[in-house]
Structure 1
Amino acid sequence: MGMLKSVLRTAVAAKVVQVVSRELSKPENQRKLKEGISKLAQSRRR
């Protein structure tokens, strides 16, 4: 049973990584991420 859970967790994690990498490859998502990081950096400087 433990081995089955381990395999399922690994498969789910691999799928999450695949989806995230696909979304981050899109230019509009890269722009949004950069804007969000710059806003966060500005708010931390204050």
Structure 2
Amino acid sequence: MSKFAKAGVAKKVMDEARKPQNQQKIKSAISNFTNKNKGGGTGAKPR
């Protein structure tokens, strides 16, 4: 992927992240992800 295409995608992501309705979705997703990772020993065993 060219630098220009990557820059365009990054700009689109940043623009979408600034929208208030998307900020709530992002916060919720991060919260769910961090809570899932804090779970006590119910996940798969590390190798």
- List gaps (5 residues or longer) in structure 1: 1-7
Scaled by the length of structure 1, the TM-score of the pair is: 0.74
- List gaps (5 residues or longer) in structure 2: 40-47
Q: Which has the higher contact order (CA 8 A, sep 6+)?
A: 2
Scaled by the length of structure 2, the TM-score of the pair is: 0.73
Q: How many residue pairs align between the two structures?
A: 39
Between Structure 1 and Structure 2, the one with more helix by share is 1
RMSD after superposition: 1.3
Moved over 3 A (4+): none
Give % identity: 31
